[in-house]
Chain A
Amino acid sequence: MSENQKVIEIEVLRYHPEKDKEPHKQVFEVPFTDDMSVLQGVQYIKDYLDGSLSFRWSCRMAICGSCGMMINGEPSLSCQTFLRDYYPARVRVEALSHFPIERDLVINMEGFIEKLESIQPYIIPKEPRTLAQGEYLQTPEQLNAYEQFSSCINCLLCYAACPQFGLNSSFIGPAATALLHRYNVDSRDGGKAERMELINSEEGVFNCTAVGYCSEVCPKHVDPANAVNQNKTNAAADYFLRFLAPKGGAK
């Protein structure tokens, strides 16, 4: 290490269920270069200072969605957040808000997985097609209608940002709604009526109070707030139509 090596303090929220009654902070001094991410800082701690620190990570390039953390209180992907932007001050790293902590920076995300599974996140074909019939035609405009909502990497930053999810963890929340919307507006899909039942339920979109912080923290420009709001309109229309049409005939 050269003499003019910069050193940054990283404050990590530690919690070990086998030992700790509650989370506590621990500060590490980490040498860094200007191109180092917060993830690389945390990896340095694990490799050289404290092998017992636990966190998730994999791709290092903001596509696998594993490494979300609260960094100075903001939900962030640690791989594309850089230590230089905090130096010379201390940077604070904590597990994502609104989720139970399993250990250190690892949250329990089973609740999200259940939500994702519940929205039927697959094509329910409008017109079934055999492989021999080849591809469905889908124009660039039709692709454009859902492409942004298909870009969600399930990093859960939007849930950590969502005050309503913080109050009520059964709220379906931003990412799952965006994914539901992604399938509903796909020109190949005919499953909207089935999915709208969930949207109209107690866990559905009306929990959202339109804070919009979810879209602000989204690293992939999915804009889940937009999906939620479009579905509020859809759900409202659906609510009134149910008095006119048989169940499921709201299209």
Chain B
Amino acid sequence: METYKADVVIVGGGGAGLRAAIAVAETDPTLRIALVSKVYPMRSHTVAAEGGSAGVKQATDSLEYHFNDTVHGGDWLCEQDVVDYFVAHCTEELTQLEHWGCPWSRTPDGHVNVRAFGGMKIERTWFAADKTGFHMLHTLFQTSIKYPSIKRFDEHFCVDLIVEEGRVQGVVAIEIASGELTLVEARSVVIATGGAGRVFRENTNGGVVTGDGMALAYRHGVPLRDMEFVQYHPTCMPGTGLLFTEACRGEGGFLVNKDGYRYLQDYGLGPAEPTPRNKAMELGPRDRLSQAFWYEQQKGRTIEGLHGSVVHLDLRHLGEEKLRERLPQIYELAEQFMGVDPARAPIPVRPAVHYTMGGILVDGRCAAPLPGLYAAGECSSVGIHGANRLGSNSLSELLVFGKVAGVEAARFAKSVAPGNSASLLKQAQAVEQRISGLKTKTGGSERIATLRKEMAQTMEDGCGIYRLAETMQKTCDKLDELKARFKNVNLEDKSSVWNTEWLLAIELEYQLDVAQAMAYSAINRRESRGAHQRLDGFEARDDINFLQHSQAHYVAGAAPRIDYGPVKITKSQPGTRAYGAAGEKAEQERKASNV
């Protein structure tokens, strides 16, 4: 087996991983950085983010407003000290990206422009048309080329962490082109592998979003925090789940039911006004909008389509010129994939799984409980999203906490001695044997695609927008069954070069672990908060028993063990989470009581 000696290894080449790599390189150019990614970095799923990235920009805005929007939006399950750090560093990081060449959309006088987004009191979403993630990712990737200390391992698939003497000391990865394994030794490891949305059937995510890093950390004893909170984005393409950005509504789009009625006004988000008002109606938060869709469907006020019920995202009144300028990608997606010209007809949409709020437990400096291990981005739970993430906070998170993870991993690497190469190699060889065994074993009968589809279906059935103990239990049982059946999996492909069936099997095993953490965390949370909503006697938020983070602990061969950790409250006491006119009233009352 090949060995590469690095100081810091970063797993994942999306926005957070690239930002972390640059941070290490800038902190200390003598540190050897290995950037391990299962795809070429510009293929990473950051590429698909559309609407924008939040950072206080306007004189009428403030860090306090961004803090309040984020904490209220998260239904008070946020680490408030971490949110404080986050909002204070977003703008600086977005400016850094501007200096690196990101083609932000501009105002006529040349300043970076901002747009409205759901749940945000003031317009603070920086955007590059509706391809913000694409431009951020390519800017970061291309900028990373400047730093000679970053050695990329493109199309290398990470299969395990190497832990010795109580700290992480490297990773093992498959070179996809050859099927050979490589040990990358390192004194610290940053996981930046993104979310796990592909465990659900209908989702906005790319095929790569399989929770790899979450599962790796989890199997080494690091808890996954708040995994029951999975975001449904309200406006997605039926069938494929492809995303129509929230910026459609930020620019003034309407959501209407089969009668052409802006139904959100019936769900505490009104009043309906002809132009968008921040934190009301279509600019409400994603959890509330997806929940409103569910109720409309129950009432029979949705439209039946080939791929289930839909409502209409109506952009016609914005006009073709504005749509082409502000939402060009959306325009083409609707035209090419659905045959809909959004300037002339409404777009049929339905909610789909979009984002995993939870992830690898880390502190405010991105450190996991396992020494030497750091995590940033969607795979991590640094604590800013709580029970529901606000749109445009996640791209900023990649930058702010990607940098923190890089700085901290560099500091840690310099504080410890390199490991014992012989004994690390011995561990890596054991990993190789296990991973290769999955490919070479014979006599199995289960098809990977079948297991994957059953997993995705049961997650949708049990852990969807609304949840019941009975269906969640069925999902837990089904996942147990699928894990048992996975042992009997059969690979048709026993070869080495570009054996993607082998990779899919390893990914499926990651996904089953992450799915279990989600389902068991969900059934144990006997309240409703943010994206976790129950209809079986636990419809209300329960701050007495559940103003706590869930933590799922891996138990080999059994269901995860769930326990709870405290939530850091600094200045915002849990209150009524309301939007629209009700939200404005609640805010006035809060202000009055603080006087």
Q: Which residues of A contact B (CB under 8 A)?
A: 16-19, 33, 35, 46-48, 50-52, 54-66, 80, 102-104, 106, 108-109, 113, 116-117, 120-123, 125, 129, 131, 134-140, 142-143, 146-147, 150-151, 153-154, 179, 183, 186, 188-189
Stretch at the interface among B61-69, B166-174, B259-267, B498-506: B498-506
- Is B125 an interface residue when CB atoms closer than 8 A count as contact? no
By the criterion CB–CB under 8 Å, are B498 and A35 in contact?
Answer: no
Besides A52-B492, A125-B99, A154-B40, 15 more A-B contacts (Cβ < 8 Å) are A19-B495, A35-B337, A46-B501, A54-B500, A59-B45, A65-B47, A66-B39, A80-B336, A102-B497, A108-B177, A113-B154, A122-B100, A136-B99, A139-B110, A188-B101
- Is B108 an interface residue when CB atoms closer than 8 A count as contact? yes
Complex formed: what's the CA distance from A46 to B448 in Å? 10
The answer to whether residues A59 and B47 also contact, given A50-B492, A104-B498, A131-B92 and a CB cut-off of 8 A, is yes
The answer to whether residues A63 and B498 also contact, given A58-B208, A122-B143, A131-B96 and a CB cut-off of 8 A, is no
By the criterion CB–CB under 8 Å, are A63 and B48 in contact?
Answer: yes
Point out the residues of chain B lying under 8 angstroms from A51, CB to CB.
Answer: 447-449, 491-493, 501
Partner of A54, one of B48, B105, B491, B499: B499
Partner of B43, one of A66, A131, A134, A147: A66
Point out the residues of chain B lying under 8 angstroms from A189, CB to CB.
Answer: 101
Point out the residues of chain A lying under 8 angstroms from B496, CB to CB.
Answer: 18
- Is B419 an interface residue when CB atoms closer than 8 A count as contact? no
Interface pairs (19), CB distance under 8 Å: A35-B239, A47-B449, A51-B492, A54-B498, A58-B208, A59-B43, A60-B240, A62-B333, A64-B43, A103-B498, A121-B145, A122-B146, A131-B92, A134-B95, A135-B111, A139-B108, A150-B135, A153-B47, A179-B142
By the criterion CB–CB under 8 Å, are B101 and A122 in contact?
Answer: yes
Partner of A60, one of B39, B134, B242, B495: B242
By the criterion CB–CB under 8 Å, are B48 and A64 in contact?
Answer: yes
Complex formed: what's the CA distance from A5 to B47 in Å? 35
The answer to whether residues A57 and B207 also contact, given A63-B47, A122-B143, A147-B103 and a CB cut-off of 8 A, is yes
By the criterion CB–CB under 8 Å, are B306 and A58 in contact?
Answer: no
Instruction: State how many angstroms separate the Cβ of B209 from the closest Cβ of chain A.
Output: 8
The answer to whether residues A59 and B106 also contact, given A35-B306, A65-B43, A123-B101 and a CB cut-off of 8 A, is no
By the criterion CB–CB under 8 Å, are A80 and B337 in contact?
Answer: yes
Complex formed: what's the CA distance from A120 to B146 in Å? 8
Point out the residues of chain B lying under 8 angstroms from A60, CB to CB.
Answer: 206-207, 240, 242
Complex formed: what's the CA distance from A65 to B135 in Å? 13
Point out the residues of chain B lying under 8 angstroms from A48, CB to CB.
Answer: 447, 449
Nearest residue, chain B, Cβ from A52? B493
- Is B109 an interface residue when CB atoms closer than 8 A count as contact? yes
Instruction: State how many angstroms separate the Cβ of B353 from the closest Cβ of chain A.
Output: 14
Point out the residues of chain A lying under 8 angstroms from B547, CB to CB.
Answer: none
Point out the residues of chain A lying under 8 angstroms from B45, CB to CB.
Answer: 58-59, 64
Nearest residue, chain A, Cβ from B147? A122
By the criterion CB–CB under 8 Å, are B108 and A16 in contact?
Answer: no
The answer to whether residues A63 and B131 also contact, given A122-B143, A143-B103 and a CB cut-off of 8 A, is yes
- Which of A59, A147, A151, A154 has the most chain B CB within a 10 Å cutoff? A59
- Is B42 an interface residue when CB atoms closer than 8 A count as contact? yes
The answer to whether residues A139 and B112 also contact, given A58-B45, A58-B208, A106-B498 and a CB cut-off of 8 A, is no
Instruction: State how many angstroms separate the Cβ of A6 from the closest Cβ of chain B.
Output: 14
| Complex interface bits, B308-337 against A, C-beta within 8 A gives 1, otherwise 0 | 000000000000000000000100110011
The answer to whether residues A58 and B493 also contact, given A123-B100, A137-B109 and a CB cut-off of 8 A, is no
Nearest residue, chain A, Cβ from B493? A52
Partner of A139, one of B101, B109, B337: B109
By the criterion CB–CB under 8 Å, are A59 and B48 in contact?
Answer: yes
Q: Which residues of B contact A (CB under 8 A)?
A: 39-40, 42-45, 47-48, 92, 95-96, 98-101, 103-106, 108-112, 131, 134-135, 138, 142-143, 145-146, 154, 177, 206-208, 239-240, 242-243, 306, 329, 332-333, 336-338, 447-449, 491-493, 495-501
Point out the residues of chain B lying under 8 angstroms from A59, CB to CB.
Answer: 43, 45, 47-48, 206-207
By the criterion CB–CB under 8 Å, are A17 and B497 in contact?
Answer: yes
Point out the residues of chain B lying under 8 angstroms from A106, CB to CB.
Answer: 498
Partner of A136, one of B98, B131, B138, B498: B98
Point out the residues of chain B lying under 8 angstroms from A113, CB to CB.
Answer: 40, 154
Instruction: State how many angstroms separate the Cβ of A202 from the closest Cβ of chain B.
Output: 23
Complex formed: what's the CA distance from A17 to B501 in Å? 16
Complex formed: what's the CA distance from A128 to B144 in Å? 18
Nearest residue, chain B, Cβ from A109? B40
Complex formed: what's the CA distance from A129 to B108 in Å? 21
Instruction: State how many angstroms separate the Cβ of B527 from the closest Cβ of chain A.
Output: 35
Complex formed: what's the CA distance from A138 to B338 in Å? 36
Point out the residues of chain A lying under 8 angstroms from B47, CB to CB.
Answer: 59, 63-65, 153
Complex formed: what's the CA distance from A140 to B337 in Å? 30
Point out the residues of chain A lying under 8 angstroms from B239, CB to CB.
Answer: 35
By the criterion CB–CB under 8 Å, are B106 and A138 in contact?
Answer: yes
Complex formed: what's the CA distance from A63 to B50 in Å? 10
Partner of A154, one of B42, B105, B306: B42
Instruction: State how many angstroms separate the Cβ of B496 from the closest Cβ of chain A.
Output: 7
The answer to whether residues A183 and B39 also contact, given A103-B498, A113-B154, A142-B110 and a CB cut-off of 8 A, is no
By the criterion CB–CB under 8 Å, are B48 and A140 in contact?
Answer: no
By the criterion CB–CB under 8 Å, are B242 and A135 in contact?
Answer: no
Complex formed: what's the CA distance from A131 to B91 in Å? 10
Complex formed: what's the CA distance from A56 to B39 in Å? 9
Instruction: State how many angstroms separate the Cβ of A216 from the closest Cβ of chain B.
Output: 16
Point out the residues of chain B lying under 8 angstroms from A131, CB to CB.
Answer: 92, 95-96, 99
By the criterion CB–CB under 8 Å, are A150 and B336 in contact?
Answer: no
Point out the residues of chain B lying under 8 angstroms from A66, CB to CB.
Answer: 39, 43
Point out the residues of chain B lying under 8 angstroms from A186, CB to CB.
Answer: 101
Nearest residue, chain B, Cβ from A123? B101
Instruction: State how many angstroms separate the Cβ of A219 from the closest Cβ of chain B.
Output: 9
By the criterion CB–CB under 8 Å, are B99 and A123 in contact?
Answer: yes
Point out the residues of chain A lying under 8 angstroms from B100, CB to CB.
Answer: 122-123
Instruction: State how many angstroms separate the Cβ of B20 from the closest Cβ of chain A.
Output: 18
Complex formed: what's the CA distance from A121 to B177 in Å? 26
Instruction: State how many angstroms separate the Cβ of B208 from the closest Cβ of chain A.
Output: 5
- Which of B42, B208, B332, B491 has the most chain A CB within a 10 Å cutoff? B42
By the criterion CB–CB under 8 Å, are A63 and B101 in contact?
Answer: no
Complex formed: what's the CA distance from A147 to B207 in Å? 28
By the criterion CB–CB under 8 Å, are B110 and A102 in contact?
Answer: no
Point out the residues of chain B lying under 8 angstroms from A154, CB to CB.
Answer: 40, 42
Complex formed: what's the CA distance from A154 to B208 in Å? 18
